[in-house]
Amino acid sequence: MNDPMENSGDYSRTEPLRLTVPDASYGRRLDQVLADLLPQHSRNRLQGWVRDACVQVDGKVETEPKRKLLGGEKLLVAEPTDAHSLAEQPEDIPLNVVFEDETLLVINKPAGLVVHPGSGNWSGTLMNALLHHVPGIEQIPRAGIVHRLDKETSGLLVVAKTLEAQTDLVRQLQARTVHRHYQAIAAGVMKKDGGVDSPIGRHPVQRIKMAVVPENRGGKPAVTWFRVMENFAYCTFIECSLETGRTHQIRVHMASINHPLVGDQVYGKNNPLLPAFHRQALHATRLGLVHPVSSLKVQWEVPMPEDMRNLLDTLRDG
């Protein structure tokens, strides 16, 4: 489930770089010009510096990488030297690669792996692993990542290896033609299939959480469908499919109908009748899309990880 990451904070910096925009750069974007003037840094990294208020244009801080330049502007670039710079470092982190060609990379992400760097997780992420695994992917925004899974959610995630593929996948996500199916174990006994069509936005009080929020208060459309697979005494094994990809969508939607996921410490409640589990019981098991080059419909499926299989075995023995 994907959502933009915002970075902010004060940095200790090296001596600022003073640059002049070439006259021939009339009409070009700030990030494009910076990439030409500072070829030792990736465009993705330079975009981050702009957004983090590290770049001045003619003496004024500019935070929009897409700003068009006229030529002749004086740039002041203060290179960050704190933990933010770790976000762009390649790391030799093993990846469970399900599929790879010249265009796409499909990963079976383990629970515990953060997808994109952010506060408290500036290294050891999937993005760091991709920068090591795919030479040149630093030239693509977010190292080709087009959607996310929560840190403690396991399963399938697709990465674009070219800018054209990334653009195509983003359009497919927007058109709701990417098919994502999840296996989950929810609290309570659910007797029939159904769905939740409720907008999701930032929680009005607890800002680190998401919540069902009316659209006139910032909520964005979100639709989750669920199918009952197996019932137990105090919980239900379900399969969910997404029409949209909001942050924490399945977790928020299931909690909103009083069936939070087992093990979810953020949206669930302590219930002594439920089995103990170290993470939210959620796994992205199946992913389908149209290949950006061949235009063929492709699909991948991975089995439930061992920890969730053991949980189901415990419930069945219960």
State the CB neighbour count (10 A cutoff) for residue 126: 25
How many CA atoms are closer than 13 Å to the CA of 106, on its beta-carbon side? 20
Enter the tokens of residue 21.
């925009």
Tokens 């957004």 -> residue:
51
Query: Does 150 participate in catalysis according to the annotation?
Result: yes
Tokens 């489930």 -> residue:
1
The catalytic residue among 10, 36, 58, 150 is: 150
Distance (Å, whole) CA 87 – CA 103: 23
Active site residues: 150
